[in-house]
C-alpha cells in the first residue's frame, strides 16, 4: 500500500516509515497539516495516517478538507486519554483511530484492515461519510441520522455510539468495550450507563419500526445488523 503519514513528531514519523517500509508499504511523510493535505490530494495514496495535534492546522481540519471529495481510508493518531478526539474523529469521517503509544503489531493490523476496507468501499459505497444499515442512515459529515427517511434526534453520545455500531455492523460489543470506546471509562462493575444509553438509542432507532436492528446478545453485549426476518 502507498501510505501518507501526517505527523509532526519527527521520531514517531521516522519510526512509522521504517516499520511500514519493512512490511512492504511505500511511505511518505508530511510534518505539517497543509503540506500533508497537498500531498494527499496529489499522491494517490491507499491510506492516510493523521495526527491530531499538528503545528499549523489541526488534524480535524485536514480530515474535513479531505472528506469533501475523498473516501480514502484515514487512521487518526490520538493522544492517550483523549476520548473526545476519537469520537470527534469518527464523527468527522475518520475510519479508525490509534491511541499513542501503540504497539507495532496493532498498527500493522489496523493498516491491513483499513486497506481491505478501502478496496471493498471503492466497489460498494462511494461515500464513506454515509453509514447505512438496512434503512438506517448516518451522515457523519452533516451529523444527521434517519431511519426509513424519518429524521432521528440523537445526542452526541448516542451519535457516537451508533456510529461505532454501524461502522462495525455484525460485530458484538460488550458493555465494557462500549464504555471504553464511547465514554472512555474503565468500568470494573458498573456498566449501567451503557445499558441506559443503548435503551434510549433503541427507543429512537428501533422502537417505532417493525424491523429491529439493535439486538442484545444475551451474556455478551450488543450488535447492530439487519434483521433476518
Ligand atoms: Ca503531534
Contact between residue 155 and residue 148 where contact means Cβ atoms under 8 Å apart: no
The alpha carbon of 14 and the centre of ligand 1 are apart by a number of angstroms equal to 13
What residues does each domain of the chain span? 2-120, 130-224
The alpha carbon of 179 and the centre of ligand 1 are apart by a number of angstroms equal to 26
What average pLDDT does range 116-142 have in this prediction?
A: 72
Q: What CATH code would you report for 130-224?
A: 1.10.10.10
Cell of 15: 519510526
The alpha carbon of 9 and the centre of ligand 1 are apart by a number of angstroms equal to 6
Cell of 166: 454501524
CATH fold match for the domains 2-120 and 130-224: no
Distance CA 7, CA 23 (A): 19
The alpha carbon of 143 and the centre of ligand 1 are apart by a number of angstroms equal to 26
The alpha carbon of 11 and the centre of ligand 1 are apart by a number of angstroms equal to 11
The alpha carbon of 59 and the centre of ligand 1 are apart by a number of angstroms equal to 9
pLDDT score at 81: 64
Distance CA 132, CA 87 (A): 19
pLDDT score at 125: 45
pLDDT score at 187: 56
User: What is the pTM (predicted TM-score) of this model?
Assistant: 0.55
What average pLDDT does range 42-55 have in this prediction?
A: 92
Query: Which of 27-36, 38-47, 76-85, 157-166 shows the highest mean pLDDT?
Result: 27-36
Q: Which residue has the cell 500493522?
A: 108
The alpha carbon of 222 and the centre of ligand 1 are apart by a number of angstroms equal to 34
Residue 113: partners with Cβ closer than 8 Å, 6 or more residues away:
96
Please tell me the least confidently modeled range out of 37-41, 145-149, 178-182.
178-182
Contact between residue 151 and residue 144 where contact means Cβ atoms under 8 Å apart: yes
What average pLDDT does range 219-223 have in this prediction?
A: 91
The alpha carbon of 119 and the centre of ligand 1 are apart by a number of angstroms equal to 29
The alpha carbon of 57 and the centre of ligand 1 are apart by a number of angstroms equal to 11
Please tell me the least confidently modeled range out of 15-24, 99-108, 119-128.
119-128
Per-chain mean pLDDT for the chain: 86
pLDDT score at 151: 93
pLDDT score at 70: 84
Q: What CATH code would you report for 2-120?
A: 3.40.50.2300
The alpha carbon of 22 and the centre of ligand 1 are apart by a number of angstroms equal to 23
The alpha carbon of 189 and the centre of ligand 1 are apart by a number of angstroms equal to 35
Amino acid at each position: 500500500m502507498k501510505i501518507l503519514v501526517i505527523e509532526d513528531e519527527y521520531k514517531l514519523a521516522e519510526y512509522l516509515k521504517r516499520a511500514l517500509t519493512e512490511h512492504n508499504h511505500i511511505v511518505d511523510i508530511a510534518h505539517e497539516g497543509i503540506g500533508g493535505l497537498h500531498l494527499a490530494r496529489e499522491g494517490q495514496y491507499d491510506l492516510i495516517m493523521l495526527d491530531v495535534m499538528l503545528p499549523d492546522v489541526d488534524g480535524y481540519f485536514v480530515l474535513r478538507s479531505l472528506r469533501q471529495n475523498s473516501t480514502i481510508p484515514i487512521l487518526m493518531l490520538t493522544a492517550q486519554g483523549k476520548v473526545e478526539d476519537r469520537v470527534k474523529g469518527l464523527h468527522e469521517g475518520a475510519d479508525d483511530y490509534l491511541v499513542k503509544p501503540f504497539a507495532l503489531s496493532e498498527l500493522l493490523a489496523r493498516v491491513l484492515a483499513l486497506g481491505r476496507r478501502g478496496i471493498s468501499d471503492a466497489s460498494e459505497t462511494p461515500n464513506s461519510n454515509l453509514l447505512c444499515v438496512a434503512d438506517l442512515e448516518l451522515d457523519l459529515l452533516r451529523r444527521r441520522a434517519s431511519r426509513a427517511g424519518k429524521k432521528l434526534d440523537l445526542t452526541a453520545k448516542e451519535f457516537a455510539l451508533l456510529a461505532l455500531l454501524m461502522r462495525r455492523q455484525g460485530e458484538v460489543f460488550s458493555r465494557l468495550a462500549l464504555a471504553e470506546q464511547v465514554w472512555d471509562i474503565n468500568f470494573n462493575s458498573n456498566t449501567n450507563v451503557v445499558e441506559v444509553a443503548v435503551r434510549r438509542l433503541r427507543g429512537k432507532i428501533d422502537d417505532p419500526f417493525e424491523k429491529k436492528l439493535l439486538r442484545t446478545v444475551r451474556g455478551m453485549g450488543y450488535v447492530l445488523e439487519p434483521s433476518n426476518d
